[in-house]
Amino acid sequence: MDAAAEPTLDDVRAFWDRRPCNVKHSPKLVGTKEYFDEVDQRRYFVEPHILHFMEAEKWRGKKVLEVGCGIGTDTSVLAKAGAKVTGTELSQASLDIAKQRFAVSGLTVQFYLANGEEMSRVVPVEPYDLVYSFGVIHHSPHPEKIITEIEKYMTPQSELRIMLYAKYSWKSLMIFLGFDQPEAQYGCPIANTYSKREARELLKDFEIISIKKDHIFPYRISEYKEYRYVKKFPWNIMPSTLFSLIKRWWGWHLLITARLKPDVSQAG
Ligand SMILES: C[S@@+](CC[C@H](N)C(=O)[O-])C[C@H]1O[C@@H](n2cnc3c(N)ncnc32)[C@H](O)[C@@H]1O
Contact 172, 253 (CB under 8 A): no
* Residue 173, in any domain of the structure: no
Å from CA of 138 to ligand 1 middle: 9
Is 4 a domain residue? no
Q: State the closest ligand 1 atom to the C-alpha of 140, by its place in the atom list counted from 1.
A: 16
Determine the structural domain holding residue 129 and report its residue range. 9-166+189-215+253-260
Alpha-carbon radius of gyration of the chain:
18
**Distance spanning both ends of the chain, measured CA to CA:** 42
144-149: Cβ within 8 A, 24+ apart: 144/202, 145/116, 145/117, 145/118, 146/67, 146/116, 146/117, 146/119, 147/202, 147/203, 147/205, 149/116, 149/117, 149/118, 149/119, 149/120
List, in order, residues 6 or more apart from 144 with CB less than 8 Å away: 202
Distance, CA of 133 to CA of 67 (rounded, Å): 5
Residue 234 counted as domain residue = no
Does the pLDDT at position 232 exceed 50? yes
**Separation of 176 CA from ligand 1 center, angstroms?**
23
Is residue 234 reached through a cis peptide bond, with omega within 30 degrees of 0 on the bond before it?
Answer: yes
183 occurs within a structural domain: no
Q: Does 92 fall in a domain?
A: yes
Closest C-alpha to 15, from 89, 91, 75, 128: 91
Q: What is the pLDDT of residue 71?
A: 98
Q: Which residues contact 195 (CB under 8 A, 6 or more apart)?
A: 166, 167, 168
Question: What does the pLDDT look like over 9-39, one tens digit per residue?
Answer: 999 999 999 999 999 999 999 999 999 999 9
* pLDDT digit string, tens, across residues 197-206: 999 999 999 9
Distance between CA atoms of residues 168 and 250, nearest Å: 6
Mean pLDDT, residues 75-85 taken together: 98
Strand partners, 132: 66, 161
If one counts the domains in the chain, the total is 1
Percent of the chain predicted with pLDDT > 70? 97
Mutate to test the pocket of ligand 1, among 77, 90, 137, 163 (most ligand atoms within 8 A of CB): 90
Atom of ligand 1 nearest to the CA of 183: 1
Is 220 within a domain?
Answer: no
Residue 29 within a domain: yes
CATH number where 142 lies: 3.40.50.150
Question: In residues, how long is the chain?
Answer: 268
- Does 268 have pLDDT greater than 90? no
